[in-house]
Amino acid sequence: MKIESPRELSLKALNGRGNRTRGPADYHLDHLFQANPHLDDRDRAFISQLVYGVSRWRLRLDWVISQFTEFPLGNIDPVVLNILRLALFQVFFLDRVPDSAAVNEAVNQARLNNKPGYVTSFVNGVLRNICRQRHGIHYPDPSRQLMPYLSVFYSYPEWLVEKWVKELGRESAESLLASQNIPPCLNIRTNTLRVSRNKLLEYLAKEGVTGTPAPYAPEGILLEGFKGRVDVLKAFKKGLFQVQDQAAMIASHLIAPRPGDMVLDICAGLGGKSTHMAALMEDRGNIISVDINRERLVNLGRNAKRLGITNTYSIVADASKPFSATFRGKFDKVVVDAPCSGLGVISRHPDGKWNRDEEDILRLSFLQKSIMNESARMIGEGGKLLFITCTISKEENEGVVKDFLDANVDMSLESMKRHAPYWALDLIDHQGFFKTFPHIHHMDGFFAALFSKN
């Protein structure tokens, strides 16, 4: 059996071969790594860098290619276009890869994919021409075409650029665009049921992993520069930590679950917040984790077992449909980690900016309101509801809060200035909402609002 090179595997992931659905980049990478267990950490890191890099910079790469072809990009075979993108990402963004190596590999890829001679000549000619003139490439003039310039230069769809400039102003929007193009460092959360953060740092150091305490979340550790697989670390296997971003860790502290509470985690996903709340509750009380995807909940169960958590229970359900009758009692705390456009986590999921449009934001805001209205029925008197999104979109954040309050007169908005831990107070805005921005706080972009039942 022929072993494919990392570049060829990267191309396969971009093309989505062997999968019936296109799916996000990480979906194809997961399948690719499972199918190629022989890959070492270095190869896996290089493949991930190429695939995410092309997804992140696709629009700018296409702009450059279009300057050196005499016909629309739509006329280029998709596989050939991805070959060109891969090569140009290496030329423009990877200093350690010589231009000649990137070009030669691209030509070989065209041959390996059974492209005729004129196509390999086209690939070779276009790439060599770009390399010769790389310092003379022109982008739209920002003084006359600001939105096209920001869109092309930072590689974002123009509708999203216009939205952020309108909501945040040009300077903040440009900083946000730039920051979400920077690959994030790995964040992990200490499992305080088993170890302290300082002890975990010591354990990691013994395994050759350098970590630093996160500036906000008290359980958080930043693994800057870490390139390997966390699941092979002894500390991971022993259940001493969970991968989770700072913003997501902080959210669990905002609902402040206590030992003995009855907690409902809606749209629980893989259970990052469920397992964190279990730790905050000292594994006492009950957490019901609800998600529409059974596979996610199976993984949640495996994670809970690895972390030594016994108080989580899972239910497969569509939270946008009536399901409050499933439960006989009421809950003290309800968390709704609502499905959203994900515009605050583009640095982690760069293909997300190409998979969303303005209609999605409106559709998702309606879905969020349906889930919130149903969730409100399951809160006991004096209970709390925490609404969370990982997006920077007023329609999905403040807009949903307003409509939810209008539809639920027995719910009150709480200012988190009165509830947030002291170390998180500067993340609460003047309206009492929790907000984080990648370009300001160097973490995922999150929004949260806290409600209480009258």
The structural domains of the chain, ordered by start, are 6-136 (1.10.940.10), 146-179 (no CATH), 246-453 (3.40.50.150)
Q: Alpha helix (H) ranges present in 68-185? A: 78-93, 99-112, 117-132, 146-154, 158-168, 170-179
Radius of gyration of the chain (CA): 24
Query: For residue 265, which phi and psi values (nearest 5 degrees)?
Result: -110, 105
Q: What is the pTM of this model?
A: 0.92
The pLDDT of residue 324: 73
Q: Say if residue 395 is exposed, middle or buried (CB neighbours under 10 Å; 0-12, 13-18, 19+).
A: middle
- Amino acid 2: pLDDT: 65
Q: What are the phi and psi torsion angles at 442 (to 5°)? A: 60, 45
Contact residues for 436 (Cβ-Cβ < 8 A; gap 6+):
246, 247, 250, 344, 427, 443, 444, 445, 446
Nearest residue to 387 (alpha-carbon basis) of 377, 398, 193: 398
Q: What is the pLDDT of residue 20?
A: 37
Which ranges of 156-293 does DSSP label H, i.e. alpha helix? 158-168, 170-179, 197-206, 234-237, 246-255, 272-280
CA distance 317 to 320: 9
Neighbouring CB atoms inside 10 A of 201's CB total 18
CA 411 to chain centre: 30
Q: What pLDDT is recorded for position 41?
A: 86
38, with CB counted inside 10 A (0-12, 13-18, 19+), is exposed
Residue with the two structure tokens 């071969």: 17
The reported pLDDT for the residue numbered 225 is: 85
Cα distances from 365 to residues 398, 406, 435, in angstroms, run 10, 15, 18
What pLDDT tens digit does each residue of the chain (454 aa) get? Answer: 567 889 999 999 998 743 333 456 777 788 888 888 888 889 999 999 999 999 999 999 999 999 999 889 999 999 999 999 999 999 999 988 899 999 999 999 999 888 888 899 999 999 999 999 988 899 999 999 999 999 999 999 999 999 999 999 999 999 999 999 999 999 999 999 999 999 999 999 999 999 999 999 999 999 998 988 899 999 999 999 999 999 999 999 999 999 999 999 999 999 999 999 999 999 999 999 999 999 999 999 999 999 999 999 999 999 988 877 778 789 999 999 999 999 999 999 999 999 999 999 999 999 999 999 999 999 999 999 999 999 999 999 999 999 999 999 999 999 999 989 999 999 999 999 999 999 999 999 999 999 999 8
pLDDT at 18: 39
